[in-house]
Amino acid sequence: MNTGAGGSLDALTDEQLVVLIQQGNINAFNNLSQRWETSLYRFIRRMMGNSEDARDVCQEAWSKAYQNIGSLRDGSKFRAWIHYIALNLCRDRFRSLKSKAIHSSYEEGGLETMPEGGGKAAQWATTRHVEQTSLKTLLDEVLTELPNEQRTAIVLREYQGFTSEEIAEITGVPAATVRSRIFYGFKALRRLLNERGISPTLPA
Amino acid sequence: MKRHESVDPKIDRLVAALYGEMTDADRRDFDAQLKVDAALRTEWEELSGTRSLLADWEVEDRIPSFLVVEAGGRNRRASAAGWLEGFRDRFGSWFSVGGWVVAGAAAAVLLLALKGVELQKTDGGFQVNVGSRNRPVTRQTVDPLGTIPLQVSSNGDAGTSTAAYLTRDEFDKYSAAMLRMVSAYMNEYRGRRDQEIGAALRSLYGDINAKQSSQYADLLGKIDATRPADRIAHDFLRPMELGMSHADSLGPLLSPEDVEVGRNE
């Protein structure tokens, strides 16, 4: 196995690179991180809902991966493993942000309030969101409103391309539960979009 | 350990079909059931319709890099701008005092001085970005020979360059300007530090002088108190204090046993 310059490492599998890293080859780690940094960042970004937190979590995830890669037994599962690390960091960050949000909402007099009354509120939301935000921004917003488990399952399946079985490994639940979370996540997503005046339909 | 939750088989099949996680035989059964089960068909269409929207959920941020560099014979983590970490190692004490403030100021100045170059603080150090996300520097604008890829600015958009390049001359110019700027700030910092040390020494010298004068006055007071009627010692010491020698005109010296001097606090 060639352990030389980064160029020759491109041809190696994740598993082969992990072996080299565990032997102390730094270039192998850099090659591996370069291979997955875009995918991992986008996963974290979709989970966190903003770039600032995503960058912090991303740096921390790679740092933890570098520190702990010696304990990874099956190098072929590196991609799932780094997502597992990132997911746990996202959860930690959510807990921290949630705690801060509770304090700041009291200190700053609460968040922006909607008009009272169901009908008016719905109309206000529809007008506001459809006119002022693009679908991309809207999706960014409504997907972060999903429960963490549902958002995790959807993001890992839809955007990261993991199978339900692989997501089961990452999240520690059965594959059928993963599919159930995806289903109910889609239901909730549809409802949230409907509340904002968008009705998802099957393309013709 | 995996938790077991009860899952509706119908839901399981819908999502498995949506993502192609079925055997061919199961998929044929599912398709056949779709034709006869209106409720299942409605669920399927809603699910597929919602999924089709997700293609619009793009992430267009610049992707942060993570790089491990080897420095000083040991492995350590660093950002893409690992030179700053090495710089910190070399000037460790300087940075420990407040160098990051100076480095931050230098970075801010650089942002203004180097048009098109963005220096961004990250957890691991600094990230140097070149060009604009909207109007990235393209390969066509520079000679491909002798170019240096300083950073990768990925916006994920097809049809636009995802990399920004500097020519060797541009890189040399930027790096020279960067070093000049950092050197200037270091010199300024050293100058301020020298001034502060000088002022501290002068203050210390003044304190010592004042304390010595006070102790001396105290000593004279104790001598006076010991022999209030006899001014010989005082009169003898006073000329010495003034750098004079009137001993001959003042008569014999007192012996040390005749003078009791208390310990200064």
Q: pLDDT-derived band of residue B188, with 50, 70 and 90 as boundaries?
A: confident
When divided into structural domains, chain B yields a total of 3
B232 and B207 inside one domain: yes
Compare B19 and B186 and report the one with higher pLDDT.
Answer: B19
- Chain B residues in contact with chain A using a Cβ-Cβ cutoff of 8 Å: 1-5, 7-8, 11-12, 14-16, 18-19, 21, 45-54, 56-59, 61, 63-70, 75, 77, 122-124, 154, 156
Chain B positions in Cβ-Cβ contact with residue A200 (cut-off 8 Å): 46, 49-50, 52-53
In a domain? residue B56: no
**What are A120-170's pLDDT values in tens digits?**
333 334 444 444 457 777 888 888 889 999 999 999 999 999 999 999 999
pLDDT at B60 over 80: no
Q: What is the C-alpha separation between B69 and B85, in angstroms, rounded?
A: 10
Q: Kindly report which listed range (A25-34, A142-151, B135-144, B203-212) carries the lowest average pLDDT score.
A: B135-144
Tokens of B130: 């070149």
Distance from CA of B14 to the nearest CA of A (A): 8
| Domain coverage including residue B101 | 67-195
B189 and B80 inside one domain: yes
B90 and B173 inside one domain: yes
Tokens of B150: 């300083």
Q: What is the C-alpha separation between B85 and B102, in angstroms, rounded?
A: 15
pLDDT of residue B115: 46
DSSP A63-92: HHHHHHGGG-S-GGGHHHHHHHHHHHHHHH
Contact across the interface for B14 and A183, Cβ inside 8 Å: yes
In a domain? residue B240: yes
Handedness of CA A39, B18, A130, A119 (dihedral sign): negative
Instruction: Please name the amino acid found at residue A47.
Output: M
Q: pLDDT-derived band of residue B183, with 50, 70 and 90 as boundaries?
A: confident
Chain A positions in Cβ-Cβ contact with residue B69 (cut-off 8 Å): 26
Q: pLDDT-derived band of residue B232, with 50, 70 and 90 as boundaries?
A: low
B122 and B159 inside one domain: yes
Contact across the interface for A168 and B4, Cβ inside 8 Å: no
The residue from B151, B175, B195 where one domain ends is B195
Q: pLDDT-derived band of residue B192, with 50, 70 and 90 as boundaries?
A: confident
B191 and B203 inside one domain: no
In a domain? residue B51: no
Contact across the interface for A177 and B19, Cβ inside 8 Å: no
In a domain? residue B57: no
Distance from CA of B209 to the nearest CA of A (A): 55
**What are A45-80's pLDDT values in tens digits?**
999 988 888 999 999 999 899 989 999 999 999 999
B182 and B72 inside one domain: yes
* Alpha helix (H) residue ranges in chain A: 6-9, 14-22, 26-48, 51-68, 78-107, 118-132, 135-145, 148-154, 164-171, 175-195
Task: Find all residues with CB under 8 Å of A53, minimum gap 6, and list them.
Answer: A93, A97
Chain B positions in Cβ-Cβ contact with residue A189 (cut-off 8 Å): 50
Distance from CA of A109 to the nearest CA of B (A): 31
Contact B97, A64 (CB under 8 A): no
- Which domains does chain A possess? 1-111 (1.10.1740.10), 115-204 (1.10.10.10)
pLDDT at B93 over 50: no
pLDDT of residue B105: 56
pLDDT at B209 over 50: yes
Q: pLDDT-derived band of residue B222, with 50, 70 and 90 as boundaries?
A: confident
**What are B106-143's pLDDT values in tens digits?**
555 555 444 445 555 555 444 555 444 444 433 333 33
Contact across the interface for B123 and A60, Cβ inside 8 Å: yes
CB nearest to B68's CB, from A26, A54, A159? A26
**What are B66-89's pLDDT values in tens digits?**
777 655 434 344 444 444 444 444
Average pLDDT of chain B, as a whole number: 63
pLDDT at B98 over 80: no
Distance from CA of B57 to the nearest CA of A (A): 5
pLDDT of residue B33: 93
pLDDT of residue B195: 82
User: How many A×B Cβ pairs under 8 Å?
Assistant: 133
Which ipTM did the prediction report?
0.77
B39 and B115 inside one domain: no
Contact across the interface for A200 and B65, Cβ inside 8 Å: no
B155 and B207 inside one domain: no
Residue closest to B46 by CA, chosen among A202, A132, A101: A202
For the whole model, what pTM was predicted?
0.53
B207 and B148 inside one domain: no
pLDDT at A88 over 70: yes
pLDDT of residue B199: 84
